[in-house]
Amino acid sequence: MTMESRIAARQGRVYFDPFRNGFAQTVVPPYCVRRAAKAPVSTPLAWSEVRPTLDPSEFNLGNFGRRLAKKDPWEDFFENRQPFAHALRAVRSL
C-alpha cells in the first residue's frame, strides 16, 4: 500500500488516497449500478482494460451479463494483501 499517486512510482503497490474523505467524495463498491445515463455498472478492471479512451458507460445493465460470464479480474484480490501499517503511519503524520 502506498500514498504515492504516480502509477510508475507505486512499484506494484495499491494506492491509498487519504484525501477521499470530503463531502461527496465517495467510493463505489464493485457491481453497483450508477445513477447516470445508460445505467453504467461499476466493475473491477484488469490493468489491460485501463486506457485514456475508457468509457464507463461501456459497462452497463444492458451488457453486464457478458462481463459477469468472463473471468473476474479481481478474483485473487484477497490473496494479494498488502499491509496498511506504512500507509497508516503516513496518514497520521499529515
Report if residue 10 sits inside a domain. Answer: no
Report if residue 2 sits inside a domain. Answer: no
Report if residue 47 sits inside a domain. Answer: yes
Q: For residue range 15-53, what is the model confidence (pLDDT) as tens digits? A: 777 776 667 777 777 888 888 888 889 888 888 899 999
- At residue 63, the pLDDT reads 92
Domain total for the chain?
A: 1
Report if residue 31 sits inside a domain. Answer: yes
Report if residue 11 sits inside a domain. Answer: no
Q: Report the distance separating Cα 1 and Cα 53, nearest Å.
A: 27
Section 47-76 average pLDDT:
89
Q: For residue range 83-94, what is the model confidence (pLDDT) as tens digits? A: 778 878 877 887
Paired with 15 in beta bridges are 2
Please tell me the number of Cα atoms within 13 Å of 23 on its side-chain side. Answer: 0
Q: Where are the alpha helices (DSSP H) in the chain?
A: 64-69, 85-92
Q: What global pTM score does this model have?
A: 0.54
Report if residue 36 sits inside a domain. Answer: yes
Report if residue 17 sits inside a domain. Answer: no
Q: Which domain holds residue 92?
A: 27-94
Among the ranges given (53-57, 59-63, 76-80), the one the predictor scored with the smallest mean pLDDT: 76-80
Query: Which one has a higher pLDDT value, 44 or 12?
Result: 44
- Grid cell for residue 57: 458507460
